[in-house]
Structure 1
Amino acid sequence: MSIIVRDCHIGEGRPKVIVPIVETTESKILERAFEFSRLRIDCVEWRVDWFEQCMDAHSVVSCLQKLRVALKDKLLLVTFRTKAEGGEASLTHKEYLDFINTVIDTDCADLIDIEFFTARDDIRELIDNAHSSGVVVVCSSHDFQKTPDKNELISRMVKMQQVGADLPKVAVMPHDSTDVLTLLAATVDMKNKYFATPIITISMGKLGIVSRLCGELFGSAMTFASAGDSSAPGQIGLDIVNAVLDSIAE
């Protein structure tokens, strides 16, 4: 199962590489976007929660429209990572819903991140709204404290599939190498038994680095790399990610 976005086949072959923009001002965001438009990557994630005007809808929309132009043909994933899931800012439930719908309405995002637990009972409606505008939904869950057991990880991703998510995503923190194996085992089970959608799985921190590189073998369709500042613990440099992914694909 793959998803085609701007001729990019997510879920086939080499994991698609995402690089985050975590700047605070519009000028810096656009500067990064011009740089990233020339890199060997598939997708840019704009982490809106880092933007100093993230609470002002007009500023967000204005920046997003310029960002879409600056990135040329690169995929654009728009994310507001809430503080509860490791982000930089907090939103009320209504503010979060309004943000998601505002981004959808701009017609600038190729993909949008919707936090599974933050959206709560409104998750289906948000996903339907995104799909009606042609936006692909990354439905995410982050645990910066621990790695839940394999059955819980699988259950979480299956529930995301059931509410209509295009790309279930889980990112968890390992305390030892066994936790990394738990994440990878859940990834393989999803690939083999629950293949209705591609998935994104990440074991964070230094321990989990292998999970960012072996997606093609275990079943994670996208991975994050840094080209400057990172947006999560354990992200590694783009050159290294590309070199390793190339060597696995050979």
Structure 2
Amino acid sequence: MMNLNHFAKQLCLAVSISLTFAAAQAGTLNKENSPAVYPVKNLNIGALPVKTIVPITAKTKQQALEQAKIIAENPNADMAEFRIDLLDFASDSKAVIALGQELNQILKNKPLIATIRTANEGGQLKISDADYESTYTEYLKQPFMQLLDIEMFRDQARVEKLIQRAHQKNVLVIMSNHDFDKTPAQQEIEQRLFKQDEMGADILKIAVMPQSKQDVLTLMNATFNVSQKSKKPLLTMSMGRLGTISRVATANMGGSMSFGMIGEASAPGQIDVAQLKQFLKTVQPTP
């Protein structure tokens, strides 16, 4: 568990920085360019307050069901992410679909994100582009999810087909990119997010690894700039302990969602969802 005093100091610093930055940029704000809002189950994704996502990190079916029940009962968790690549049987599509349907029922009014995080992006599953497309296509025949995470740097033609199939089934697309080694330049981060927008993603996601405090600010500044030019909701984060504060501070920078955890984290730097929800309430703009 994170030391709250240490985190509070970080939080105060980040809020001060983010509010100062926002004030300095106030003249550039475009109120007509507010994020698109997607009604999904009982949530309006893209609208304030910032939504919390808790990952299901199970290896077995029973563990996944137990984690889903905990998320369903936790008022601080708004959504769940089903990390399919972490399952012992991730390659068995029929078993995954059956489990996904059960998870969706357990979660009731809480949306479910389906994610295969590949080894290319820091996940556990090594999979070819062809198998990636065919597996997601199988899931989308009778979707058990409301949102689907698609990695932007897979084969572009296959990615475009998956986006089309998801939209035909009224499934929202989170397009994602992860860099576990570094934080790209601010311009590069922005270009990747704008590319996701151009490709038809509904929600734009990037996660980067900071090597310095400046890297954390780079991610937040990029988030702010993209939020002023794109209507798509943003899910951006600076990972690791150094970047933990970004999971809260991006609420001031145009972010629409943030990952928390109950028990085991799915990525470095995640905060307990109860703490995350409280911090978000403290720093985010009033709806």
Match of 2:103 in 1: 67
Match of 1:15 in 2: 50
User: Using the alignment, how far apart are the partners of 1:216 and 1:168 within structure 2?
Assistant: 15
Larger Rg: 2
Helix, strand or coil at the partner of 1:145: coil
Deviation at 1:119, TM superposition (A): 4.0
Deviation at 1:104, TM superposition (A): 1.7
User: Using the alignment, how far apart are the partners of 1:52 and 1:182 within structure 2?
Assistant: 37
TM-score (norm 1): 0.96
Given that residues 133 and 159 in structure 2 are in contact (C-alpha distance below 8 angstroms), is that contact kept between their aligned partners in structure 1?
A: no
Aligned residue pairs total 249
User: Using the alignment, how far apart are the partners of 1:104 and 1:42 within structure 2?
Assistant: 23
Gaps of at least 5 residues in structure 1 are: none
Select 1:224's aligned residue among 240, 248, 259.
Answer: 259
User: Using the alignment, how far apart are the partners of 2:161 and 2:168 within structure 1?
Assistant: 10
Match of 1:211 in 2: 246
Deviation at 1:65, TM superposition (A): 1.2
User: Using the alignment, how far apart are the partners of 1:119 and 1:132 within structure 2?
Assistant: 20
- Give a deviation string over 1:4-63, Cα, whole Å, max 9, x none: 212412222221000001111111101111111011211100000011110011111111
Match of 2:89 in 1: 53
Match of 2:144 in 1: 108
Match of 1:93 in 2: 129
Given that residues 42 and 110 in structure 2 are in contact (C-alpha distance below 8 angstroms), is that contact kept between their aligned partners in structure 1?
A: no
Matches within 5 A, 1:30-49: 30-40=65-75, 41-49=77-85
User: Using the alignment, how far apart are the partners of 1:234 and 1:114 within structure 2?
Assistant: 22
Letter aligned with residue 279 of structure 2: V
User: Using the alignment, how far apart are the partners of 1:218 and 1:163 within structure 2?
Assistant: 23
- Give a deviation string over 1:114-160, Cα, whole Å, max 9, x none: 00002433222110100000000000000000000011111111111
Deviation at 1:195, TM superposition (A): 2.0
Runs of 4+ displaced beyond 3 Å:
none
Gaps of at least 5 residues in structure 2 are: 1-34
Deviation at 1:248, TM superposition (A): 1.9
User: Using the alignment, how far apart are the partners of 1:177 and 1:202 within structure 2?
Assistant: 13
The yes-or-no answer on 1:176 pairing with 2:212 is yes
Select 1:78's aligned residue among 99, 102, 114.
Answer: 114
CA distance 1:68–1:119, change in 2 (3 Å)? farther
Letter aligned with residue 25 of structure 1: T
When structure 1 is superposed on structure 2, of 81-90 and 97-106 the one drifting more is 97-106
The yes-or-no answer on 1:24 pairing with 2:59 is yes
TM-score (norm 2): 0.84
User: Using the alignment, how far apart are the partners of 2:187 and 2:246 within structure 1?
Assistant: 18
- Give a deviation string over 1:73-121, Cα, whole Å, max 9, x none: 1110000000110001111111110121122222211100000002433
- Between the aligned residues of both structures, percent identity stands at 35
C-alpha RMSD of matched pairs (Å): 1.1
Given that residues 191 and 219 in structure 1 are in contact (C-alpha distance below 8 angstroms), is that contact kept between their aligned partners in structure 2?
A: yes
Given that residues 45 and 77 in structure 1 are in contact (C-alpha distance below 8 angstroms), is that contact kept between their aligned partners in structure 2?
A: yes
Letter aligned with residue 37 of structure 1: A
Matches within 5 A, 1:121-160: 121-160=157-196
